[in-house]
């Protein structure tokens, strides 16, 4: 179980939260592969914490479907069911649509500027074919809108769904293209023009297009 040694640590997080965030990220990006057995002693050493916060983090990750724990035997990363993306994306898209409509009431110049800045970085990542980075920047773009919506329940549910979708994106090699850049630009413009319904419609199409990509229609 090779674990990177160059990960960062936030002083503001508890040991459990830090362990949870890092282990989840390693599962999402494939550092910890589907079906791989997890050694909590190795994780504790790598993260510089005791085994207790590791076990607490793994218990949370089990409830979220990222690991399976077999008492007295082993803990291992769950397998990826490719078809489950069809269950994940529609509710995620619906919540993103709702977040867009709510955010439209609170959008100001600073939020528009932030969205434009993030989309510029997104475009640069795609043009340089840094698709791994593009996926993470894309998530940042959508998170700006979710944060602007300022609804803790939407934020909570989206965080869980987004983590699983992000894992699918990484493992299925989803490549975001110019179509996503254009979607972002249109969303920004429509939010700036106070047209929430139109912005929400593009937001929905932006997410559901991925289902076409996974089923072979790679329109990006």
Q: What is the pLDDT of residues 206-219, one digit of tens each?
A: 998 877 776 654 44
**Residues 156 and 107 both lie in one domain:** yes
Predicted pLDDT of residue 215: 63
Predicted pLDDT of residue 175: 81
**Residues 96 and 180 both lie in one domain:** yes
Instruction: Quick: pLDDT tens for 46-99.
Output: 999 999 999 999 999 999 999 999 887 889 999 998 888 889 999 999 999 999
Instruction: Quick: pLDDT tens for 76-88.
Output: 999 998 888 889 9
The mean pLDDT of 18-45, rounded to a whole number, is 94
Per the prediction, the chain carries an average pLDDT of 90
**Residues 46 and 105 both lie in one domain:** no
The last residue of one of the domains, among 77, 109, 129, is: 77
Residue 35 has pLDDT above 90, yes or no: yes
Check which CATH number belongs to the domain holding 170 and give it. 1.20.120.530
First CA to last CA distance, the chain: 34
Domain that holds residue 31: 15-77
Place of tokens 């282990």: 23
Number of domains observed in the structure of the chain = 2
**Residues 101 and 161 both lie in one domain:** yes
Give buried/exposed letters for 6-33 (b at 16+ CB in 10 A, else e). Answer: eeeeeeeeebbebbbebbbebbbeebbe
Instruction: Quick: pLDDT tens for 112-159.
Output: 999 999 999 999 999 999 988 998 899 999 999 999 999 999 999 999
**Residues 98 and 59 both lie in one domain:** no
């Amino acid at each position: 179980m090779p674990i990177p040694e160059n990960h960062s640590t936030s002083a503001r997080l508890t040991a459990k939260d830090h362990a949870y965030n890092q282990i989840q990220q390693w599962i999402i990006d494939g550092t910890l592969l589907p079906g791989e057995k997890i050694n909590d002693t190795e994780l504790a050493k790598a993260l510089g914490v005791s085994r207790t916060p590791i076990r607490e983090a793994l218990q949370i990750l089990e409830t979220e479907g990222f690991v399976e724990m077999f008492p007295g035997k082993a803990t291992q990363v769950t397998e990826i069911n490719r078809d489950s993306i069809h269950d994940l994306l529609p509710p995620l898209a619906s919540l993103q649509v709702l977040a867009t409509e709510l955010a439209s009431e609170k959008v100001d110049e600073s939020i528009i500027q932030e969205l434009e800045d993030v989309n510029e970085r997104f475009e640069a990542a795609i043009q340089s074919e840094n698709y791994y980075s593009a996926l993470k920047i894309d998530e940042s773009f959508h998170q700006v809108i979710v944060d602007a919506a300022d609804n803790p329940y939407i934020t909570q549910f989206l965080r869980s769904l987004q983590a699983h979708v992000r894992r699918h994106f990484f493992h299925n090699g989803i490549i975001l293209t110019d179509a996503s850049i254009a979607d972002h630009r249109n969303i920004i413009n429509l939010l700036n023009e106070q047209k929430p319904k139109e912005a929400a419609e593009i937001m929905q199409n932006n997410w559901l297009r991925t289902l076409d990509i996974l089923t072979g229609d790679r329109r990006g």
